[in-house]
Every structure is written in C-alpha cells, then in structure tokens.
A = this chain, B = another copy of it.
Amino acid sequence: MKKIEAIIKPFKLEDVKEALVEAGITGLTVSEVKGYGRQQGHSEIYRGAEYVVEFIPKIKIEIVVSTDEYADIAIKAIAQAAKTGKIGDGKIFVSTIDSVLRIRTDERNEEAL
C-alpha cells in the first residue's frame, strides 16, 4: 500500500478534493502546514518595520491507497488540479505503508481503505 503526501496551495484544496473524488478516492486527511522553498513570501508591516514572511501557508493532503495504480491515479488527479504553473505549486511524495487498520470495524489493509 502506498501513502501519498501532497503539499499544495491552500486555495486549491477544494479543486483537488473534487478531482480526487472524481478519480474514485474516497478518503483523505488534510492539515495546515507552512512551507519554505523557492516561493518568496509576502511582506508584512508592523509599525515602522517591514519584514518578509518566509514560511508560506500550505495544505498537506495525505492519502493512503491500496495499489500502485490507485497511487498513480491519485497523483495525476492532484497534480492536475493543483497546478497553476507558478512557483510554489508544491510537491507530491510517495512512500510505502506496511499495514492499515480501520478502527471501527477492525478491517485490515486493502479492506480498510
């Protein structure tokens, strides 16, 4: 099983979620993170001081899928929906998951997804 972690721009969350749902992905977990990378942060101003905010708000999406095909489908859906073509669009990381358990039913692995 594979875990897909995508870092995207916050305002793309809704689009990405819809693309995933259309692609048949029915479960995901989202969190608010801050990114540091090539994208320049904006400047904030505070009474006689202007400073650059280096950490930029991003959204992290985590999806665990049962097969490599599903992983590819999900990656494609995310990449397409999250792309603006401007710096800071984000990255998708894929790793391996050893096992899964659905707490409610005690189902395991593929069945739990």
Contacts and interface: CB of A to CB of B under 8 A. Distances in A.
Interface of A: 2-3, 6-8, 17, 26-38, 54-55, 58, 60, 64, 75, 78-79, 82-104, 106, 112
The 10 residue pairs across chains A and B that have the minimum distance between CB atoms: A89-B104, A89-B103, A92-B101, A27-B37, A31-B33, A94-B99, A94-B98, A30-B34, A28-B36, A90-B103
A96 B97 CA distance: 8
A36 B30 CA distance: 8
As for how many copies of this chain the complex holds, the number is 3
Contacts of A2: 98
Contact of A35 (B30, B93, B103): B30
A103 B93 CA distance: 11
Given A36-B28, A38-B26, A97 B93 contact: yes
A26 B38 CA distance: 7
Given A32-B31, A35-B29, A35-B30, A98 B95 contact: yes
Nearest to A100: B93
A3, A7, A64, A101 pick with most chain B CB within 10 angstroms: A101
